């Protein structure tokens, strides 16, 4: 990709990789990808956004970023802490957030927890984490602890060829196009004896020991003080959740496409870019 700079950010507790897009004096934006994806999720979108200085992170445990130490987990608040450390490293007291899926959820958590730090929120098909009823909290914790114990001896899937690894990503929990899978594979795959495996930390697939209720999660939404634009993918994860969408005090725009509409093809990337360019241009 032309005009993209690769950097590593040492945050003290972890080192993260990132792509830099846009003019140095542009509006500061930290971009956060979805679960098991990486910074290349913004490879089609970021070059189409005008006047923004975008730092697209590989979140901890993803892409070229470090994995968390043995015994540590991947809680939403830990990701939010990482983002604050990145902002500190860059000297950004205030910044915008661009997030897809898990990245959108982290963005909402951070902007609700510290509303004074975030200038704008641009969200793609993600808002709050999946909720849980209070009655199953103890049971969920038990399942998660058991899964952590079992994780130790598990090896990762090795694909004999790049093609098979790309096909596996195309048919993942959320299907993506071949082009999208190939872009994610550029940062996500590594050679190992016998073929290729995904770089992502296998602990990312463990169940969360603790989930917020929807009511708790919505407290973050209500504290957000900055302009917020949410792109809802017509065939994505949010479109059918009308009760949630009706509660959101955000600007909503529904666009055609699946959950990765900004990455799946050029036309989807253009539509999302048009929406966000209008949003960031409003003074």
Assign 68 a pLDDT band (cuts: 50, 70, 90): very high
- What local confidence, expressed as pLDDT, does residue 135 receive? 73
The Cα-based distances of 268 to 186, 258, 264 in angstroms read 20, 9, 7
Average pLDDT, integer, range 104-130: 97
151: pLDDT confidence band, cut at 50, 70 and 90?
confident
CB 236 within 8 A of CB 181: no
Annotated catalytic, 101? yes
Give kind and range of the element (H or E) at residue 20.
strand 15-21
Q: How far apart are CA 179 and CA 266, in angstroms?
A: 10
Average pLDDT, the chain: 95
Helix (H) or strand (E) holding 99, with range, is strand 95-100
Distance, in Å, from the CA atom of 124 to the CA atom of 131, rounded to the nearest integer, reads 19
Q: Label residue 2 by pLDDT band (50, 70, 90).
A: low
Is residue 56 a contact partner of residue 62, using CB atoms and an 8 Å limit? no
**Reported confidence tier of residue 155, pLDDT bands at 50, 70, 90:** confident
What CA–CA distance (Å, rounded) separates 215 from 1?
42
**pLDDT bucket at 136, cuts 50 / 70 / 90:** confident
CB 125 within 8 Å of CB 101: yes
In this predicted structure, the answer to whether residue 1 has a pLDDT above a threshold of 60 is no
Q: Which of 2, 65, 101, 270 is catalytic?
A: 101
Return the beta strands (E) in 150-227 as ranges. 189-192, 195-198
How far is the C-alpha of 136 from the C-alpha of 17, rounded, in Å?
37
- Share above pLDDT 90 across residues of the chain, in percent, rounded to a whole number: 87
- Range 5-130+214-281: architecture per CATH: 3-Layer(aba) Sandwich (3.40)
Is residue 56 a contact partner of residue 107, using CB atoms and an 8 Å limit?
no
Mean pLDDT, rounded, for 188-215: 94
């Amino acid at each position: 990709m032309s005009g993209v700079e690769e950097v590593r950010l040492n945050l003290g507790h972890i080192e993260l990789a990132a792509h830099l897009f846009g003019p140095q004096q542009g509006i500061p934006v930290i971009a956060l990808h979805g679960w098991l994806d990486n910074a290349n999720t913004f490879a089609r979108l970021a070059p189409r956004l005008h006047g923004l200085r975008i730092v697209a992170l590989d979140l901890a445990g993803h892409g070229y970023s470090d994995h968390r130490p043995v015994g540590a987990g991947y809680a939403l608040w830990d990701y939010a802490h990482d983002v604050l450390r990145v902002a500190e490293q860059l000297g950004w007291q205030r910044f915008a957030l661009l997030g897809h899926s898990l990245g959108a959820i982290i963005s909402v958590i951070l902007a609700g927890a510290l509303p004074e730090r975030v200038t704008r929120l641009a969200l793609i098909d993600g808002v709050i984490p999946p909720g849980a009823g209070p009655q199953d909290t103890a049971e969920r914790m038990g399942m998660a602890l058991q899964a952590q114990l079992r994780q130790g001896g598990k090896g990762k899937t090795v694909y004999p060829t790049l093609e098979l690894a790309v096909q596996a990503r195309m048919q993942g929990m959320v299907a993506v196009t071949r082009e999208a899978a190939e872009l994610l594979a550029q940062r996500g795959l590594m050679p190992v004896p016998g073929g290729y495996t995904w770089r992502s930390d296998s602990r990312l697939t463990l169940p969360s020991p603790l989930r917020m209720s929807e009511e708790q999660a919505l407290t973050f939404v209500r504290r957000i003080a900055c302009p917020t634009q949410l792109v809802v993918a017509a065939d994505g994860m949010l479109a059918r959740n009308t009760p949630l969408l009706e509660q959101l005090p955000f600007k909503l725009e529904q666009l055609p496409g699946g959950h990765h509409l900004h990455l799946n093809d050029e036309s989807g990337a253009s539509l999302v870019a048009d929406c966000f360019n209008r949003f960031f241009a409003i003074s």
